[in-house]
Amino acid sequence: MKFLQIHIILVVLIVFGCSVNPDRNDNCDIVIKNANLYLDQYYASSDTSVFDSILECMDNKSFFSHASDKEYFQTISRILLIKGAYKELEFLINSAKWLEPYAAFNLSNYVQFKKLKSQGNNLSISFIEKSLMVIEDSLAANPQDSLKLIDYYCFKSLLNGKSATIREIDSVYGKDEKFSLEFVNYVLKDAVSEFDN
């Protein structure tokens, strides 16, 4: 309980500092560095307003250069995705020069899918289909690549639904010795279950 109180106090101080101080560069850097605290608060409360200080910092010149660092990218991108800040998320992906082309392509397609789906646009599926083709080609070249297999089934779950995808995994890999049952049951199926929640 005391640990949670310290986190809440720290977050309040960070939010207050970023919104009041005229020199926002330093304060926004602090906000980015402590983004995990915002995620923890969000997961505890489901209140997206905990991300407001991050969104306020986005007009700061240095925001995307810091947020696209490997150290902060995953957390900041998750926050932007939760908030539905798709334009900013696309910019963040493009700013992350360290991302491999495969990852950048699939992330960009996923963001386009989410953006168009939120608008009720049926073209959203085409972005997932494009990623699936690239992932299939990658798997054809290296069928033992377990990370690409996870990507494949996670993206496939966006088209077919989680239950149908897990049933497919069971039918394909239930007796296949290419991947261990532990991997199939506790990594692959768990990844599909948790993906896009």
User: Structure pTM?
Assistant: 0.77
- Of 79, 98, 117, which residue sits at a domain end? 98
- Of 48, 64, 98, which residue sits at a domain end? 98
Residue with tokens 């007009």: 59
What is the model's pLDDT at position 61? 63
Looking at the fold, whether 166 and 85 belong to one and the same domain comes out as: no
Question: Percent of the chain having pLDDT more than 70?
Answer: 83
Lowest mean pLDDT of 9-18, 47-56, 171-180, name the range.
9-18
Looking at the fold, whether 52 and 15 belong to one and the same domain comes out as: yes
Looking at the fold, whether 113 and 25 belong to one and the same domain comes out as: no
Query: Which residue did the predictor score with more confidence, 154 or 12?
Result: 154
pLDDT at 24 over 50: no
Q: Give how many domains the chain has, as a whole number.
A: 2
Lowest mean pLDDT of 10-19, 85-94, 142-151, 175-184, name the range.
10-19
pLDDT at 130 over 60: yes
Per-residue CA distances from 13 to 7, 21, 28, 34 (Å): 10, 11, 12, 11
Looking at the fold, whether 116 and 162 belong to one and the same domain comes out as: yes
Looking at the fold, whether 31 and 61 belong to one and the same domain comes out as: yes
- Of 51, 74, 98, which residue sits at a domain end? 98
Give the domain range for residue 77.
Answer: 1-98
- 7 confidence band (pLDDT: 50, 70, 90): very low
| Average pLDDT over the chain, rounded to an integer | 82
Average the pLDDT over 57-80 and give the result. 80
Looking at the fold, whether 30 and 106 belong to one and the same domain comes out as: no
Looking at the fold, whether 104 and 196 belong to one and the same domain comes out as: yes
What is the model's pLDDT at position 64? 77
What is the model's pLDDT at position 108? 96
Q: What is the pLDDT of residues 25-63, one digit of tens each?
A: 556 777 777 788 888 888 888 888 888 877 777 767 677
What is the model's pLDDT at position 22? 38
Query: Which residue did the predictor score with more confidence, 24 or 98?
Result: 98
pLDDT at 14 over 50: no
